[in-house]
């Protein structure tokens, strides 16, 4: 006789969300997602909320749903972290970066290293001594981008020393000892270069993007190593706050192809010796009102294909496009408008009117209101597109009358 529900109650099926469970029953397997689906779901959430103030909390909440999502969410949460010494957040973050999560760190930014956290900020903890922050560099096997900097703070003016060393040198010594050799691909340090900096860089021959602060620091004894052609053999691009003899010697010996000026600097003395190798040039820190200085840079950088400039208070004029005429290989121009509220249509009109002075130019990006891009078509006309959400929308041809109206702004 067939059992009745009262005599033989049916058990409710249980579902297991554990990836790769060998003992999962048929009913359990119906509740499992394929392994390859978890990461796209997490990456889609990270991309969709990347500009949201709640993106970190959304990812944290997702990591608490199940172990499968925890692994992928932590991969996103910890791949780009910033530790600001002297803050409560730095201590809490350092406490969570351990054996399980440190391997996910791809980009690490360290700010104001060496500043202790005042005990008053942790009134709920029974500690009398200041709290220290410890970073497990040796466990960060996936770290490829490293940034060291210092920002204004009430405590940064104090002459702090750690074991007799200045904080920066102590930090670089730790990095030299704990970070595996030849794993860093991008290194940026806005602090004055010291012997400890050069020693760390010697162990990271894999670096291809280098950003340095002052490179004429007195008391440094390893400048000969810094200028050597065998130093950083894979170097391709440099971010420079100031270009002096030491940095110029480095670029001359390595045929650097990318150069970013992070502040206004005069034309370097030996600019002509390596400018011909530059294919990516960022001059956005140099005001376009100083056309003579910009012209000095561009006249010798004839092989530039990608150029970034800034326009302050609608200073982009016909003369600017005349300055670009020596760049016979220029393919893309990116213009950042300051202030960002200025109308992009004004610049689009200028590009359409004077862009013929640079025949090789194929694309112009305008970071203004709204964000706009211009693409040269097969019949040598400019096709405007505006940024909408995560994509670009083609704009109808406004005609000469529409662009002329923008020029009157």
* Domain membership flag for residue 401: yes
Per-residue pLDDT in tens (0 to 9) along the chain, 409 residues: 444 454 444 544 433 333 334 443 333 444 467 777 888 888 888 777 666 666 677 888 888 888 888 888 888 888 899 998 888 788 888 888 888 889 999 999 999 888 776 655 555 555 555 566 788 999 999 999 999 998 876 554 444 555 555 778 889 999 999 999 999 999 999 888 889 999 999 999 999 999 998 777 888 888 899 988 899 999 999 998 888 888 888 988 888 999 998 887 777 888 888 888 999 999 888 766 666 777 778 888 889 999 988 776 555 556 667 778 888 899 998 887 766 555 666 667 777 777 777 888 888 887 766 677 778 887 777 777 776 555 545 554 443 333 333 333 2
Distance (Å, whole) CA 234 – CA 315? 38
Residue 280: exposed, middle, or buried by beta-carbon count in 10 A (0-12, 13-18, 19+)?
middle
> Which letter, b or e, does each residue of 374-405 get, where b requires 16 or more Cβ atoms within 10 Å of its Cβ?
bebeeeeebebbbbeeeeeeeeeebeeeebee
* Domain membership flag for residue 54: yes
Taking the CB of residue 124, how many other CB atoms lie within 10 A of it?
Answer: 4
- Residue by residue, DSSP assigns 312-340 as ESS---HHHHHHTTT-TT--EEEEEEEST
* Domain membership flag for residue 392: yes
* Domain membership flag for residue 366: yes
* Domain membership flag for residue 306: yes
Residue 374 β-bridge partners:
364, 384
As for how many domains the chain has, the answer is: 2
* Domain membership flag for residue 140: no
Domain boundary among 45, 77, 109: 77
User: What is the extent of the structural domain holding 375?
Assistant: 276-284+300-409
Domain boundary among 52, 77, 102: 77
CB 187 within 8 A of CB 204: yes
Domain boundary among 77, 95, 111: 77
CB 175 within 8 A of CB 167: no
Residue 396's φ and ψ, nearest 5 degrees, are: -65, 155
* Domain membership flag for residue 391: yes
* Domain membership flag for residue 215: no
């Amino acid at each position: 006789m067939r059992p009745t529900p009262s005599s033989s109650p049916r058990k409710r099926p249980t579902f297991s969300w554990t990836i790769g469970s060998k003992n999962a029953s048929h009913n359990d397997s119906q509740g499992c997602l394929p392994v390859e689906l978890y990461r796209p779901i997490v990456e889609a959430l990270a991309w969709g909320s990347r500009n949201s103030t709640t993106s970190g909390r959304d990812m944290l909440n997702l990591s608490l749903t199940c172990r499968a999502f925890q692994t992928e969410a932590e991969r996103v949460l910890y791949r780009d972290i910033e530790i600001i010494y002297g803050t409560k957040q730095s201590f809490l973050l350092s406490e969570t970066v351990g054996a399980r999560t440190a391997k996910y760190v791809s980009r690490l930014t360290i700010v104001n290293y060496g500043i202790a956290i005042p005990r008053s900020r942790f009134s709920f903890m029974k500690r009398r001594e200041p709290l220290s922050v410890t970073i497990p560099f040796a466990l960060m096997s996936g770290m490829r981008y490293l940034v060291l900097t210092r920002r204004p703070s009430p405590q940064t003016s104090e002459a702090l020393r750690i074991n007799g060393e200045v904080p920066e040198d102590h930090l670089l010594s730790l990095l030299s000892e704990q970070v595996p050799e030849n794993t860093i691909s991008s290194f940026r340090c806005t602090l004055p270069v010291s012997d400890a900096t050069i020693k760390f860089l010697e162990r990271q021959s894999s670096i291809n993007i280098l950003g340095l602060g002052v490179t004429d620091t007195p008391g440094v004894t390893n400048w000969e190593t810094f200028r050597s052609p065998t130093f950083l053999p894979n170097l391709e691009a440099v971010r420079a706050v100031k270009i002096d003899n030491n940095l110029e010697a480095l670029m001359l010996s390595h045929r650097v192809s990318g150069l970013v000026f992070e502040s206004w600097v005069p034309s370097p003395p030996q600019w002509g010796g390596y400018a011909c190798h530059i294919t990516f040039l960022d001059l956005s820190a140099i005001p376009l009102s100083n056309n003579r200085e910009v012209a000095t840079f561009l006249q010798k950088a004839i092989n530039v294909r990608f150029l970034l400039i800034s326009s302050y208070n609608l200073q982009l004029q016909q003369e600017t496009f005349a300055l670009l005429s020596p760049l016979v290989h220029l393919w893309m121009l990116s213009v950042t408008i300051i202030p960002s509220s200025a109308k992009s249509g004004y610049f689009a009109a200028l590009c359409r009117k004077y862009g013929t002075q640079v025949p090789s130019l194929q694309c112009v990006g305008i970071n203004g209101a709204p964000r706009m891009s211009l693409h040269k078509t097969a019949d040598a006309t400019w096709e405007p597109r505006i940024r909408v959400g995560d994509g670009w929308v083609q704009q109808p041809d406004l005609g000469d009358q529409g662009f002329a109206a923008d020029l009157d702004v």
